[in-house]
Amino acid sequence: MQKEKRNLDTFYLAVILFLLFFVFGFLTYNYTGLWGDMAEYVNNPLRVLRGEIPYRDFWLLFPPGEVYLPAFLYKIFGLNVNVVLLLWPIVAALVGTFGFVLGKILFKNNWLAGLLALLLFFNGLGHVHFLLLLIATIFFAKYLKEGGGLRLFLSGVFVGLAFYFRFFEVAACALALVVALLISFRADRLRVSRAIVMFLIFSGGVLLAMSIIYLPLINYWQLILDSVVLNSVGHGISMNLAYLTDVKSALSSLLELESKGEFSFYKLAVFLRIGALYSLPFVVFFLGMFQFFGKKMGSLDKIFVVFLMLWTLFEFPKVLGRADVSHLAHVVSPAIILLVFLIKNGNWKIWRVVAGFTAFLLVLQLPVRAYDVEQILAKPHYQLTTTHGRLFLEEQKQVEDAEKVINFINLHSKEGDPIFVSSWYFPALYALTDRSNPTYYDSLIDVIAEPSEEEQQRICDGLIEGNGKGSVKIIVHNPNFGFDNNPKLSFINAAPLLQKCIEEKFKLAEKIGYYLMYLP
């Protein structure tokens, strides 16, 4: 009876946390400044609805779940970009909620479980693959504490599902799980035959889940391998940002105010929190080593520490390619779980104090994010609305120009017609107007980051052929956009052959703000 009451209390607390986290994200989920990869996320799934196959018909560096899940949402709810954008606050809220559930299993303490939930929601990954890995971790923790082949199987299933959305990041967790599992077999003194059976149960869950989507794409396994495993690495390295990049930016911003004799708690909190994020992998690995070799912990707790340490360690090479805060979150997320674990189970008080202070610095993201949201909502909202979605932009001029561009598209083409949008800094014009893309790329990031005359010619051919319907009806272009303010990564310098194709094969019909509208 007492156990049922505890489970019910945990359920109610988890529901409350989910609602709070969701509302926090929902307040600004469709407020955008038109930068980054947002357009790519909502445009690519549209191609799946048109019967195109990822890797074969359009560029994708991620596993297929990245486009099939949003396409499924479009299929169920209709073509509306807000449906896909809403997925992000829902997933982020679920990450925080399942972080609380994991905390209850590990610590049996609402405060520590709540701390883990807060840290994961405000500093961790709000991605589908991490949510699935978090659920896999919950089943693995239950298996270590209580045993049971079903828990191990379900842990494998959720790892397998996570492979639909990321490869290297999920492989890091899967490898750490396998090592921890093998250590647990030894700690439990399982017979070899029993250990093999349990390992096959876990592996069977992984393979069963992966087969659901990957088997129908078996004919494209070579394309998937090339894109997801090989090309993705080169893509990340080509846009390298050194470790501590964002720490330097935050410090410069803080010192700039200091030189003026001004003080900002907000900028100080941002600097301290970012510094803690970059320090976190080293802090938890250092403390985890002492924890592992200490005498206070039981063997099962040590196995869990090994799992989290290895997960963090195996994720770390990712940030060597691009070490900004958003990519660092892949390493930080498992490190956060270990951090709270060390606060609870540290061998020495001094180590628990260090872990607790680090957690305090990370909690500073709560007031920082709350201030950011308040600032966004305090500004005037300029609404861009079409049949297929509603966005709030930062400036009225942005909305006015985007509306003129959409009106131009509607005037010179109809739904389903081929158009081409060159910049990933433009609105999600394919999805917002329900137009098709006759080229291989919805985003030219890859073409700009790794210039190729062959790929430029391939895009040019697509513009002229237009999916067999003749030339594309419209090109929305700006030759001056680029990446990271690096002249070498600007369109005009990285894709001169494609620029020449656009100028020679199409005519400039109208200039709307920084949008150049071309017609055949």
Give pLDDT tens digits for 240-259: 777 888 888 888 888 887 77
Of the pLDDT bands very low, low, confident and very high (cuts 50, 70, 90), residue 36 is low
Beta bridge partners of 390: 385
Least trusted range by pLDDT, from 12-16, 315-319, 430-434, 447-451: 447-451
Q: Report the range of poorest mean pLDDT among 5-19, 331-345, 428-442, 500-514.
A: 5-19
Give the pLDDT score at 317. 87
What is the set of domains in the chain, with CATH numbers? 239-354 (no CATH), 382-519 (3.40.50)
Token pair recorded at residue 317: 């090479």
Share of the chain above pLDDT 70, in %: 94
DSSP character string of 139-187: HHHHHHHH--HHHHHHHHHHHHHHTTT-SHHHHHHHHHHHHHHHHHHHH
Return the pLDDT at 84.
Answer: 93
245: its two tokens: 């990049």
Report the distance separating Cα 166 and Cα 65, nearest Å. 8
Percent of the chain with pLDDT over 90: 59
Give the model confidence (pLDDT) of 367-417 as tens digits: 999 999 999 888 888 999 999 999 998 889 989 999 999 999 999 999 999
Check pLDDT > 90 for residue 23.
yes
Does residue 7 have a pLDDT over 60?
yes
262 burial (CB, 10 Å; 0-12 / 13-18 / 19+) is exposed
Contact 460, 436 (CB under 8 A): no
| The model's pTM | 0.92
pLDDT, tens only, 40-89: 788 999 999 999 999 999 989 899 999 999 999 999 999 999 999 999 99
pLDDT at 350 over 90: no
The answer on pLDDT for 351 being more than 90 is: no
